[in-house]
Amino acid sequence: TQLLEQSPQFLSIQEGENLTVYCNSSSVFSSLQWYRQEPGEGPVLLVTVVTGGEVKKLKRLTFQFGDARKDSSLHITAAQPGDTGLYLCAGGRNTDKLIFGTGTRLQVFP
Amino acid sequence: DTGVSQNPRHKITKRGQNVTFRCDPISEHNRLYWYRQTLGQGPEFLTYFQNEAQLEKSRLLSDRFSAERPKGSFSTLEIQRTEQGDSAMYLCASSSSQGGGETQYFGPGTRLLVL
């Protein structure tokens, strides 16, 4: 059973465009983490959000945790080719295992 | 600052052989996790340790899989009698249970190919 659905699955955009990736669940999580993964490498942590309604910014990336702690979004402003990669959301419940989303593969063309 | 390390990075083996992977977590982290990731999918949980105790095992972890963390530091994951379906990226992550400890940090992974 896939508890975390990400959309879109694939995104191909031009440099400079904005985009939003969504991560949705019917379950409540105590935390939500976003990772970026490059081919052949492990996921690299971008951010952890723990409070419902929380918004965190990391340069051009804005992360939001839903009020009910069931969903999250990642917004990238003025995407650059270096943003290319697989974006994964992962829900956690009190330091237990992470439940990963299906992933969003982003390609940013120069 | 050393992150999570995994060895080997790549392993090619023939069906039926045994393989063992090693994970060295971030030194102050007491929790260690193993995940498996197949092509086009997100990682799936296999098992995790708090110190040397194995606290949870996924149903994905058949009896051919065994994981250990004998001294609460590094961990090994062994797959016996490998099958082609075992081909995947095996990821290790670590975290600290202190101060909330939700965030897991991943190693570079070991990519296994079973021929």
pLDDT tens, residue by residue, B47-100 = 999 999 999 899 888 899 999 999 889 999 999 999 999 999 999 999 987 765
**CA A5-B77-B100 angle, 5° bins:** 55
Do B108 and A41 count as a contact with CB atoms less than 8 A apart?
yes
Cis check: omega of the bond before A8, within 30 degrees of 0: yes
Q: Which residues pair with B31 in a beta bridge?
A: B50, B95
pLDDT under 70: residue ranges of chain A: 1-2, 95
Could you report the per-residue pLDDT of A4-16, keeping only the tens digit for each? 999 999 999 999 9
* B1 pLDDT more than 70: no
Chain A residues whose CB is inside 8 A of the B45 CB are 97-99
> Cβ of B101 under 8 Å from any chain A Cβ?
yes
Q: Which fold has domain A5-109?
A: Immunoglobulin-like (2.60.40)
Which residues in A8-20 are b (16+ Cβ under 10 Å) and which e?
Answer: eeebebeeeeebe
A-B CB pairs within 8 A amount to 69
Mean pLDDT of B32-40: 93
Chain A from 56 to 95: CB within 8 A of any B CB:
88, 90, 92, 94-95
- Interface probe for A, chosen from B103, B105, B111 (most Cβ of A below 10 Å), is B103
Q: Which two tokens stand for residue B48?
A: 């995790």
> Cβ of B51 under 8 Å from any chain A Cβ?
no
> Cβ of B42 under 8 Å from any chain A Cβ?
yes
Question: In the 8-state DSSP scheme, what is residue A94?
Answer: T
